[in-house]
Amino acid sequence: MAKKKARRQKSPENKERREREIVAVRRILPPLAKDLWPEARRIQRRWTAWLGPTNSGKTHEALVRLERRGGSYLAPLRLLAQEIHERLESRGIPTTLLTGEERILREESRHLSATVEMGSTTDLAPCVVIDEIQMLADRERGPAWVRGLLGSPSEEIVICGTPHSEGALRRLAEYAGVEIEVCHTSRKTPLEVASDPIPLDRVPDGSIVVAFSRMDVLTLARYLRDRGRPVSTIYGAMPPELRRAESRRFREGEATVMLATDAVGMGLNIPAEYVIFSTASKFDGRIDRILEPEEVRQIGGRAGRFGLHERGLIAGMDRRTHQIVRRQFSHSVPPLSGPFPFVPDYPIVLSASEVIGSTNLEILLSRLHASIISDAHLRSGIGPELRQKASRVEQLAPLLPLSERWLLLFAPENRTTEYEFWRWVATVGRIGSGLSPTVRAPEIREIAGRKEGEEALARITLYRWLSLRLPHRFPEYERALGLYAQVLEETRIILEREGRARKGRRRES
């Protein structure tokens, strides 16, 4: 079957048809990708960039402008969107919260706090703040930052990021036809590499120990707990509410050491004097590689909280790791360079469908990818992973409307939830013959441990994401909210029980 399909694809007739379709799609695309967002090109006048290292107050400066003018804050993490929402609300500023899984609507608000993927290219705003702009270059999430920067219909875009993004931002501003002002911020406390490695059994109180997988974080945490050290843990798969609780335990001294993945480097407000790397390499989704200089600075920059510490110190846990950390920290960070990836919005996909006469999502993405002409600034971000996902959606749910299949492409499934996700897609894909199948919120068995709790929360989170976008297919959003709160509380009780048991064992010993 696969060989027959390959022969059909390579036949002269199919090749000619493909080339005709690419030419047709190319005609609906503007010559320059920046013009895919014409409303933004018409309205944007000025970019203001606050660039500096971690702990330098750049986000604070941007938020001062946002509070005064009104508009949107676009965050790299749901947790940060929630924190800024709470900050604005605590100052008496009604603020809407919009993330992939939750919406808190304030009808009278002039302010929005959202994850960057939720940024609008149609709603006008006086000001839009985009945090962690260096994520433009990220292979998977970069298109969301490109869309926010070039697609937000706002007179003023306020940008926060690292100094090595300055050159790229100046070039993109010229490309977009807007003025740019760059403001530099400096760290409020110096950041240094410790003179020697710091082994795990000599980690000082008030330290963050960094690993690069959930398993490594939990293994290191167990080592310290078994030796009587109260610790907190943070990693990417942890629900934001638990991350916040673990961060609070560390801030308030209930935990003396934090074990975390590099998720800790993305703007979380965690006061630590030391950041200690357990390893100097990480798996980036394709290969194991040495940390880049920018990663060492971004993660290590969490050390040394202004007002609490005179300086921040970073170190490796062993001699080799320490040497690599020192070397990478001393290297200058190469400038950010394009072209940066982007993915066209749905209206372009719909137009492509009309000109080639097909609603097959895999074919549409393939033709768009081949039609996009890269320039010095932007390139197609329709990578093989996205096209493979489109192929599977087509196999399981070919009768769903194109708009719904498009939304399914961006569902945030992961290794924990991928089985559930594709089972749900197959279920809602069984439309036809008058059927309109729906998916109920996931059934949750008894939560016996931390891992089960986190996996259940991940499944419910995915359901909430789908329910907000396809409520007629996933109709139990309110029930999912209640389930989430229930499982979250059960998981917290389990963590507290584990903590009390460890304290009891320490007293007995």
Task: State pLDDT tens for residues 394-429.
Answer: 999 999 999 999 999 999 998 889 999 999 999 999
- Lowest pLDDT segment from 31-35, 286-290, 317-321, 345-349: 286-290
How far is it, in rounded angstroms, from Cα 258 to Cα 273? Answer: 11
Residue type present at position 76? P
Confidence check: pLDDT of 276 > 70? yes
Which residues are 114's β-sheet partners? 74, 98
pLDDT of residue 269: 72
pLDDT value for 307: 61
| Pairwise CA distance, residues 419 & 393, whole Å | 13
Compute the distance between CA of residue 61 and CA of residue 85 in angstroms, rounded to an integer.
16
Q: Quick one: tokens of 41?
A: 């090109």
Query: Which helix (H) or strand (E) segment is 160 a member of?
Result: strand 154-161
Give the residue among 210, 264, 267, 233 at the shortest CA–CA distance from 76.
267
pLDDT, residue 415, reads: 87
Who contacts 223 (Cβ-Cβ below 8 Å, separation ≥6)?
200
Give the pLDDT score at 26.
95
pLDDT above 90 covers a percentage of the chain that reads 72
Does 443 have pLDDT greater than 80?
yes
**Three-state secondary structure readout of 452-486:** HHHHHHHHHHHHHHHHHHCCCCCCCHHHHHHHHHH
Q: Quick one: pLDDT at residue 67?
A: 95
Helix, strand, coil percentages in the chain from 3-state DSSP, rounded to 5: 50, 15, 35
Longest dimension (CA), the chain: 79
Burial tier of 468 (Cβ tally within 10 Å: 0-12, 13-18, 19+): middle
Q: Residues 317, 234, 455, 118: is their CA dihedral positive or negative?
A: negative
| Domain ranges for the chain | 33-184, 191-335, 340-490
- Report pLDDT for 135: 95
pLDDT of residue 306: 62
Return all residues near 263 (Cβ < 8 A) that are at least 6 apart. 77, 234, 235, 236, 243
CB 63 within 8 A of CB 172: no
pLDDT at position 9 is: 56
Quick one: angle between helices 12-28 and 361-371, nearest 10? 70
Euclidean distance between CA atoms 15 and 175, whole angstroms: 35
What pLDDT score does 1 carry? 46
Q: Can you tell me the distance from the alpha carbon of 77 to that of 61, in angstroms, rounded to the nearest whole number?
A: 19
Query: In this predicted structure, what is the pLDDT of residue 501?
Result: 57
Tell whether the model's pLDDT for residue 223 goes beyond 90.
Answer: yes
Phi, psi angles (nearest 5°) of residue 48? -120, 120
Residue 456 in tokens? 């259940």
Chain centroid to Cα 80, Å, comes to: 10
For the ranges 91-105, 282-296, 310-324, the lowest mean pLDDT is seen at 282-296
Interatomic CA distance for residues 170 and 149, integer angstroms: 12
33-184: CATH number: 3.40.50.300
Whether residue 461 contacts residue 500, with contact meaning beta carbons closer than 8 Å, is answered with: no
Q: CA triplet 94, 98, 102: central angle to 5 degrees?
A: 115
Same fold flag, 33-184 and 191-335: yes
- Cα–Cα distance between 284 and 63 in angstroms, integer? 31
Which range, of 222-226, 349-353, 389-393, averages the lowest pLDDT?
A: 222-226
Place of tokens 């290219």: 121
The mean of the pLDDT values for the chain is 91
For Cα atoms 109, 115, 118, give the angle at the middle one, nearest 5 degrees: 75
Model confidence at 136: pLDDT above 90: yes
pLDDT band at 188 (very low <50, low <70, confident <90, very high): confident
What would the pLDDT profile of 109-121 be if each residue is shown by its tens digit? 999 999 999 999 9
Can you tell me the distance from the alpha carbon of 459 to that of 309, in angstroms, rounded to the nearest whole number?
A: 40
pLDDT value, residue 3: 47
Pick the CATH number of 191-335 from 3.30.60.50, 2.40.128.120, 3.40.50.300, 3.30.365.10: 3.40.50.300
What is the band of 11 on the pLDDT scale with cuts at 50, 70, 90? Answer: confident
The total number of residues written for the chain in this structure:
509
pLDDT at 366 over 60: yes
Q: For the whole model, what pTM was predicted?
A: 0.90
How much is the pLDDT for 2? Answer: 47
Task: Say if residues 64 and 82 touch (Cβ distance below 8 Å).
Answer: no
